[in-house]
Structure 1
């Protein structure tokens, strides 16, 4: 998204993180009254949106490849904070929360964001055009990370349940980080052109070939860095405050405990969804697909290693292996994604296929 050239104190991205920290200071260590739950939840969602916005400003200023890492790390901190907060307060019933959240993130990005981007692009230009080389490489990386971290644990024999042994978990964490780091280097270095917007003839859309607005000023970048830290503190603290209400709401709605992971993923990925939709409406489908698959990659490649490290202090096993229904949905998503990506062109049909897959995932998550 275009970055502001100077900070504005009246912007919602400035006001919301400050309000979220103030409400955190007032409610910390206390049981949250029912009438305050909607307010804290709204400020938590606003702080997530503001954090990602300010991370994008800082990322745009520092440039690549460090910019991609700033944004990915910010989103990962939010996701890990929400997961760990709920795991610490939920006991045994949250042992699979990391798996549920990461899998939900993969399904939302690879079906929801990707499908919405193709649908909007095809509605605008009849055919959505993108670079199959870059998008195919990103999809292959996501499929590898998802299989290694979420499918393999169900078939290992070192532990009785769908979990890794400590050595296996360490290997999966290192491999995930290595693959993610390699992809960032490829995307921002040697094969950067594979991830830039293209037109119907395969040429670059932007005259300068970068697909971005001018970088923000030093003052705007520093202002966003400070507000990014404020927003992250607010997200972590308010998540802890409102987590009992989230779990109570899921239980009151008679939904499975695993649906908490879907809620976390939807909250964390909301900014990326909005950014991808805006890019698709401007005929920048490649940027939308970069956001979708890049978010999926970061969710696995950074969240799993972080949770693996934190599992040293977390009580109980870390259940990562998917069940049969989830594996079937993941396999179908990968197959449909490959058939969508290979031609480098997509119509309304491909967008609809992925959105139906997302609907199937959400329905089966609520009614397994």
Structure 2
């Protein structure tokens, strides 16, 4: 019975990403009726679940922390391509699109995903245990990159408004790329053990499962299908965005709410994968996914949009407003206090989720 169920599941995870991509091609840049939006939402959910499955197959093959890195980078690369495409389309909102998307990703990953995983892991296993060396290094990189890219433009004076001059933008892009590259090298080569799951006694767990890893062929197949699924997730999220925008405007909400909703849809695969890792008492894997995604979002988006400004017209506003500056500072402080003890209770998870709730409330009612 179980082999048959596994066979059906395997066929499902192959068919759904391909079908979702076909739906994406057929609906791209089209005005969709109500039933069309429902169809897109259905395949969007299927593509999310398929992406999580294939990411876990790859993670099982290559081991941690490489598996977390694959999913984080794959999602971010596609997200960056979407941002640049939307910026090329122009419009009044293009100037702040990169800033709003990156900040939404940072708040969702560093407070939403991280807080939810701590809460789930601590409720099931009493405390959520992780490695402070690796998690602290990742959090330090997130705080530094966020400050260099999103805080400094608010206070510089070379250009009018909360934006960088050309020289300052080039520096921020180079620093983001360099720090992210150093983080990846630390994660995968020099200090890989800092990012592996640990037990309550501090013992490093180098193996995530006792089952035999998939073959190289199966992992490469999952890698290709993961790419198809993630392209479909981001593209279908973009396809339903006009409906979301209409609902937001009809409700009299600010346009920033649209960015929050789209960011949540795009980050669904990482959220599900991180929560499932926390349920297996692999909270460090959840931390790798959350903070790695935040780092990839800044470290890849800022250089990409800096390069795009060479041929794109219009200003690039990166500086955060006062309320967002406060939330970013609070996120770094709370994150530091969470990481230092090497373990967390449900209270710390709830604190992070409260910060995310404050961000969502201020997006709805600034």
Same fold (TM over 0.5): yes
Q: Which runs of 4+ in 1 moved over 4 A?
A: 6-10, 58-69
Give the Cα separation in 2 of the matches to 1:344 and 1:237.
38
Distance in 1 separating the partners of 2:171 and 2:114: 30
> Which residue of structure 2 lines up, in the alignment, with residue 197 of structure 1?
197
Q: Are the counterparts in 2 of residues 79 and 265 from structure 1 also a CA contact under 8 Å? A: no
Residue 168 of structure 2 is aligned to residue 168 of structure 1: yes
Deviation at 1:68, TM superposition (A): 5.6
Aligned 1:26-175 pairs, distance under 5 A: 26-28=26-28, 30-51=30-51, 53-55=53-55, 57-58=57-58, 61=61, 70-89=70-89, 91-175=91-175
User: Residues 1-368 of structure 1: matches in 2 within 5 Å?
Assistant: 11-28=11-28, 30-51=30-51, 53-55=53-55, 57-58=57-58, 61=61, 70-89=70-89, 91-204=91-204, 206=205, 209-211=206-208, 214-235=212-233, 237-239=235-237, 241-368=239-366
Task: Provide closer, same or farther for how the CA distance between residues 250 and 314 of structure 1 changes in structure 2, counting only shifts above 3 A.
Answer: farther
TM-score relative to the length of structure 2: 0.88
State the shift of 1:233 in Å: 4.7
Question: Aligned-pair distance for 1:72?
Answer: 3.2
> Cα 1:346–1:222, aligned 2, differ >3 Å: closer, same or farther?
closer
Distance in structure 1 (CA, Å) of the matches to 2:344 and 2:9: 42
RMSD: 2.6
In structure 2, the CA distance between the partners of 1:34 and 1:111, relative to structure 1 (3 Å rule), is same
> What SS is found at the alignment partner of 2:310?
coil
TM-score under structure 1 length normalisation: 0.88
- Cα displacement (A) at 1:71: 2.9
Identify if the C-alpha distance between structure 1 residues 52 and 128 changes in structure 2 by more than 3 Å, giving closer, same or farther.
closer
Preserved CA contact (<8 Å) 1:78 1:235? no
Give the SS at the match of 1:96.
helix
Distance (Å, rounded) in 1 between the aligned partners of 2:27 and 2:117:
39
Bigger drift between 16-25 and 331-340 goes to: 16-25
SS of equivalent to 2:98: helix
Question: Mean alpha-carbon deviation: is it higher for 24-33 or for 70-79?
Answer: 24-33
Change (3 A) 1:361 1:159: same
Q: Which runs of 5+ in 1 are unaligned?
A: 1-5
Give CA-to-partner distance per residue, 1:309-366, whole Å, 9 cap, x none: 2333333212111000000011011111111111112222211111111111111111
For the Cα contact (< 8 Å) 1:9–1:15, is it kept in 2?
Answer: no
Assess if the C-alpha contact under 8 Å between 1:65 and 1:185 holds in 2.
Answer: no
> Any idea what SS the aligned residue of 2:167 has?
helix
Helix, strand or coil at the partner of 2:91: helix
SS of equivalent residue, structure 1 residue 302? helix
Q: Deviations over 1:78-121 (max 9, x none)?
A: 32244344444561123212111111111111111111122122
Answer whether contact 2:79 2:234 (CA < 8 A) is retained: no
In 1: Cα distance, 2:196 partner to 2:28 partner? 45
Gaps of 5+ in 2: 1-5
Name the SS of the counterpart of 2:93 in structure 1. helix
Alignment deviations for residues 95-148 of structure 1 (CA, whole Å, 9 cap, x no partner): 212111111111111111111122122212322222111111111011001111
3-state secondary structure, aligned to 1:31? coil
- The total of aligned residue pairs comes to 360
- Preserved CA contact (<8 Å) 2:128 2:343: yes
Distance in 1, matches of 2:247 and 2:70, equals 33
Give the drift of 1:198: 1.6
CA displacement, residues 234-257 of structure 1 (integer Å, 9 cap, x when unaligned): 346545544433332322232211
